[in-house]
């Protein structure tokens, strides 16, 4: 087995999982809201990115920015108009509502664009192979790893070093205390929700080359996004980062080594992990 | 009301008396995925059916054809079975056709046996499907037609000694693996690894599977995946992992060079060698006529592919059944009519229904993808004539 190639392949798909899932982790940690439609935002972002490149001739980075902005804006509208009504509802209601929203998204995209899968037209500098000196590897995977790492650093700095990051951390740890200290958790949530959905959109576009992009996307990868959040812990950027990488790499290695049962192992491992640490990798016990 | 109905009856009687006999209507039930992952395939076959009717307006003689369409949705077989049941009991169709995915045909086989309805398969390629019911005939292909031929060609023409096989994990995928292995190893090759690569319902990330294949360093990498988006993913991943530079040739059945997806594959696909019973670049008068009419009807960028042609030929078979049985279609009569039926005007060249197996006998074309004037074109580099389903011929596994 070519160990380094396998590792790089796994890291690249782990980065996609991270970019999509990080928003889900933070919003779930913040409000305890189970948003199963999170993958739907990733899909919508992916479509916005692919279609704006195809029809308006936007460059890949410009399309990513557009996808981020469009989906973040849409998510604010949905959050204020729909999600806000369900914050105090039971978890079952939240799950039913968000899964219903996923079906609406799937049907809308199928109707508007069609059932076939979409391809990202990668710019020439991301296509093909890059010579790393000791081996040649897919340029796009390397770019994904770089993007994911930079994003992780930016989010980490934002969470640890800025005022708004401190507020989010405070609200995740103890919402009532944060509120009584004057933190407007509702507004904070709208902001985080938009940021998380926007990041999911970027993940949908960046990951389309690897995960594909078609109307069934939100349901197909829902389990993976939830596994990442469950293993990483709620509201933990670093936790989600390492969980996503761990799952990406494990899934990749298992598929290379045992293609007959690769997907089964990942579920079994998650089950075992959560039995041992139900609070996730970095979560605090009893939180 | 009553008088009006009487009047209508009288009118109808009068017109019948005038023409001598009531034109018989034959109901054809078409089961295809019009939505879901296979929607594009459903559309291809459906267009093939329409094109046959359009280009051959006299094929059904004086008999009228009513086409009843049902959506088979997911490739699981469950929806197709429900559709077949409804077509038999509610719509009372005379003949059933369509069936893109093997599970669809497999799930429906027992129903057509019970109801004694003839079934003409327009795609589903698992070899042993025709053994499931004496009421089934197939105008499309079995995975063994091209799989076995590809194995032979890989050893003899490509001069490969070792091969890795990657396949989608469902019945036709396993068929392809067995067929290729049998053909390749009978001619001195060796299959060194076989990798299941996810299911047919969704396009997986092929990277880990191709990484494994690359690590094994074979001469050729034989891939079977369903036609369509899977195939585009295969070619992209092959290019992205630099397998060509590593000296590994990508070969496969024509599923991966499906004409409707060909131009979206990009330069990574150049040099790809496939074996199949049809491609839109075939040079024969019937095909040229079909391609021209197709582009006129559905637009210049549209093209028939092997599925469209199977729909076309399936309708030709049904027309033959209807005219032979003079409009009164029964399963036994239909199968008798189809056994040994020859059709020389097929866009894929001459075809015949094997009188023993009710499966198709046809040419297999070896082709290489080349770039001509900025377009990807399938250059035909060889033909193996009158190929039977080798699975039933060799009595392999479930084909006994």
CATH number for the domain spanning A173: value is 1.10.3470
Residue B23 token pair = 């034109």
* Range in A14-18, A171-175, A212-216, B277-281 the model is least confident about: A171-175
- Distance (Å) of CA A252 to CA B182, B203, B205: 30, 16, 10
The pLDDT, as a whole number, for residue A144 is 92
> Is residue B32 a contact partner of residue B46, using CB atoms and an 8 Å limit?
yes
Q: Which DSSP category does B253 fall into?
A: E
Contact B212 A259 (CB under 8 A): yes
Mutation to test the A interface, candidates B164, B208, B235, most A Cβ within 10 Å: B208
B229/B110: higher pLDDT? B110
Gap between the terminal Cα atoms of chain A: 42
A→B contacts (Cβ < 8 Å), by residue, are 1-2, 5-6, 9-10, 12-13, 110, 114-117, 119, 127-129, 136, 138, 140-141, 209-212, 214, 216, 220, 251-253, 255-257, 259-260, 262
pLDDT digits 0-9 by tens, B206-262 = 888 998 999 899 999 999 987 777 888 888 889 888 888 889 999 999 888 888 888
pLDDT digits 0-9 by tens, B338-363 = 999 999 999 999 999 999 999 999 99
| Residue A131: strand, helix, or coil | strand
Domains B2-141+285-358 and B144-276+363-399 share a fold: yes
The pLDDT, as a whole number, for residue B76 is 87
Asked whether the predicted pLDDT for residue B15 surpasses 50, the reply is: no
A282/A1: higher pLDDT? A282
pLDDT digits 0-9 by tens, B21-67 = 456 899 999 999 998 778 889 999 999 999 999 999 999 999 999 99
Q: Which residues of A touch B241 (CB under 8 A)?
A: 138
The superfamily CATH assigns to domain B2-141+285-358 is: Response regulator (3.40.50.2300)
A46 within a domain of the structure (yes/no): yes
What value does the mean pLDDT of chain B take?
89
Total number of domains constituting chain A:
1
Mark out the alpha helices in chain B (DSSP H runs). 2-19, 39-55, 78-89, 102-115, 143-156, 171-185, 207-215, 229-240, 259-262, 285-298, 306-324, 331-338, 390-394
A122 within a domain of the structure (yes/no): no
Give the Cβ contact number of residue A143 at 10 Å. 19
Contact B207 A210 (CB under 8 A): yes
Task: Give the nearest chain B residue to A128 (CA atoms).
Answer: B240
The pLDDT, as a whole number, for residue A78 is 93
The pLDDT, as a whole number, for residue B19 is 42
Contacts of B117 (CB under 8 A, 6+ apart): B88, B93, B94, B95, B96, B135, B331
| Residue A93: strand, helix, or coil | helix
Q: Half-sphere exposure (CA, 13 Å, Cβ side) for B15?
A: 7
Asked whether the predicted pLDDT for residue A178 surpasses 60, the reply is: yes
The pLDDT, as a whole number, for residue A284 is 60
The nearest CA of chain A is from the CA of B260 a distance in Å of 12
Asked whether the predicted pLDDT for residue A45 surpasses 90, the reply is: yes
Categorize the per-residue pLDDT at B2 as very low, low, confident or very high, splitting at 50, 70 and 90. Answer: low
User: Which of B205, B211, B229 has the CB atom closest to A6's CB atom?
Assistant: B211
User: Which of A129, A257, A262 has the CB atom closest to B242's CB atom?
Assistant: A129
Q: What percent of chain A is modeled with pLDDT above 70? A: 97
Phi, psi (degrees; rounded to nearest 5) at A118 = -105, 150
B168/B10: higher pLDDT? B168
Mean per-residue pLDDT, B84-93:
95
Distance CA A248, CA B151 (A): 35
Please give the angle made by the CA atoms of A138, A125 and A49, to the nearest 5 degrees.
95
User: Which of A2, A129, A210 has the CB atom closest to B205's CB atom?
Assistant: A210
The pLDDT, as a whole number, for residue B205 is 84
Q: What percent of chain B is modeled with pLDDT above 90? A: 66
Per mean pLDDT, which of B32-46, B52-66, B145-159, B187-201 is the most reliable? B52-66
pLDDT digits 0-9 by tens, A211-249 = 888 888 999 889 889 989 888 888 778 889 999 999 899
Residue B200 token pair = 């047919």
The pLDDT, as a whole number, for residue A241 is 92
What is this structure's pTM?
Answer: 0.73
> Is residue A124 a contact partner of residue A213, using CB atoms and an 8 Å limit?
no
Q: What is the DSSP string of B277-333?
A: S--TT--SHHHHHHHHHHHHHH-TT----HHHHHHHHHHHHHHHHHHHTTT---HHH
The pLDDT, as a whole number, for residue B4 is 59
The pLDDT, as a whole number, for residue B3 is 54
Domain locations in chain B as residue ranges: 2-141+285-358, 144-276+363-399
pLDDT digits 0-9 by tens, B372-385 = 988 999 998 888 88
Distance CA B238, CA B188 (A): 26
Structural domain range at position A36: 3-114+135-276
Residue A1 token pair = 């087995």
Asked whether the predicted pLDDT for residue A159 surpasses 90, the reply is: no
Contact B242 A252 (CB under 8 A): no
pLDDT digits 0-9 by tens, A64-112 = 999 999 999 999 999 999 988 888 888 899 999 999 999 999 999 988 9
Distance CA B165, CA B187 (A): 16
> Is residue B328 a contact partner of residue B336, using CB atoms and an 8 Å limit?
no
pLDDT digits 0-9 by tens, B313-328 = 999 999 999 999 999 9
Contact A115 B40 (CB under 8 A): yes
Fold observed for domain B144-276+363-399: Rossmann fold (3.40.50)
Distance CA B216, CA B382 (A): 29
């Amino acid at each position: 087995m070519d160990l380094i190639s396998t590792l790089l392949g796994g890291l690249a798909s782990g980065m996609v999982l991270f970019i999509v899932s990080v928003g889900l982790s933070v919003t779930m940690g913040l409000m305890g809201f189970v948003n199963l439609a999170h993958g739907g935002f990733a899909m919508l972002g992916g479509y916005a990115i692919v279609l704006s490149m195809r029809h308006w001739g936007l460059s890949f980075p410009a399309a990513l920015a557009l996808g981020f902005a469009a989906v973040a804006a849409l998510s604010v509208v949905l959050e204020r108009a729909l999600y806000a009504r369900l914050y105090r509802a039971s978890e079952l209601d939240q799950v039913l509502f968000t899964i219903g929203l996923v079906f609406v998204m799937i049907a809308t995209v199928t109707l508007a664009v069609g059932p076939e899968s979409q391809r990202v037209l990668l710019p020439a500098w991301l296509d093909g192979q890059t010579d790393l000196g000791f081996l040649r590897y897919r340029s796009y995977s390397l770019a994904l790893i770089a993007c994911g790492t930079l994003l992780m650093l930016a989010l980490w700095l934002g969470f640890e070093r800025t005022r708004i990051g401190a507020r989010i951390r405070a609200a995740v740890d103890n919402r009532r205390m944060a509120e009584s200290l004057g933190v407007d958790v509702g507004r904070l949530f709208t902001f985080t929700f938009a940021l998380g959905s926007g990041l999911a959109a970027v993940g949908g576009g960046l990951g389309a080359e690897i995960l594909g992009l078609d109307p069934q996307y939100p349901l197909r990868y829902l389990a993976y996004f939830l596994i990442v959040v469950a293993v990483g812990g709620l509201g933990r950027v670093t936790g989600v980062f390492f969980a996503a990488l761990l799952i990406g790499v494990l899934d990749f290695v298992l598929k290379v080594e045992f293609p007959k049962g690769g997907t089964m192992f990942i579920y079994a491992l998650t089950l075992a992990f959560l039995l041992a640490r139900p609070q996730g990798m970095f979560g605090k016990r009893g939180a | 009301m009553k008088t009006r109905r009487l009047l209508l009856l009288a009118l109808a009687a009068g017109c019948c008396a005038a023409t001598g006999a009531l034109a018989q209507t034959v109901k054809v039930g078409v089961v295809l995925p019009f939505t879901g992952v296979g929607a594009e395939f459903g559309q291809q076959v459906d267009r093939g059916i329409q094109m046959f009717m359009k280009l051959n307006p006299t094929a059904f003689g004086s008999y009228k054809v009513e086409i009843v369409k049902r959506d088979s949705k997911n490739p699981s077989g469950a929806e197709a079975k429900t559709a077949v049941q409804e077509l038999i009991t509610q719509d009372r169709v005379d003949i059933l056709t369509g069936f893109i995915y093997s599970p669809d045909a497999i799930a429906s086989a027992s129903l057509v046996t019970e109801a004694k309805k003839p079934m003409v398969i327009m795609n589903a390629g698992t070899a042993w499907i025709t053994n499931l019911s004496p009421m089934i005939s197939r105008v499309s292909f079995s995975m063994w037609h091209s799989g076995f031929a590809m194995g032979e060609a890989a050893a003899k023409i490509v001069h490969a000694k070792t091969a890795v096989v990657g396949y989608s994990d469902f019945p036709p995928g396993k068929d392809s693996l067995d067929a290729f292995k049998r053909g390749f190893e009978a001619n001195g090759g060796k299959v060194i690894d076989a990798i299941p690569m996810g299911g047919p319902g969704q396009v997986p990330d092929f990277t880990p599977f191709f990484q494994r294949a690359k690590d094994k360093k074979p001469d050729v990498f034989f891939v079977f995946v369903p036609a369509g988006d899977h195939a585009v993913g295969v070619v992209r991943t092959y290019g992205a992992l630099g397998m060509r530079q590593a000296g590994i040739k990508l070969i496969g059945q024509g599923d991966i060079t499906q004409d409707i997806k060909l131009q979206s594959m990009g330069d990574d696909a150049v040099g790809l060698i496939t074996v199949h019973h049809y491609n839109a670049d075939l040079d024969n008068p019937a095909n040229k006529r079909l391609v021209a009419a197709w582009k006129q009807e559905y637009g210049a960028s549209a093209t028939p592919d092997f599925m469209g042609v199977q729909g076309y030929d399936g309708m030709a078979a049904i027309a033959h059944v209807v005219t032979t049985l003079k409009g009164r279609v029964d399963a036994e009569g239909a199968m008798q009519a189809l056994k040994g039926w020859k059709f020389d005007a097929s866009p894929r060249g001459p075809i015949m229904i094997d009188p023993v197996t009710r499966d198709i006998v046809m040419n297999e074309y070896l082709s290489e993808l080349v770039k001509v004037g900025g377009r990807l074109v399938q250059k035909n580099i060889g033909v193996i004539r009158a190929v039977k389903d080798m699975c039933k011929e060799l009595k392999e596994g479930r084909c006994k």
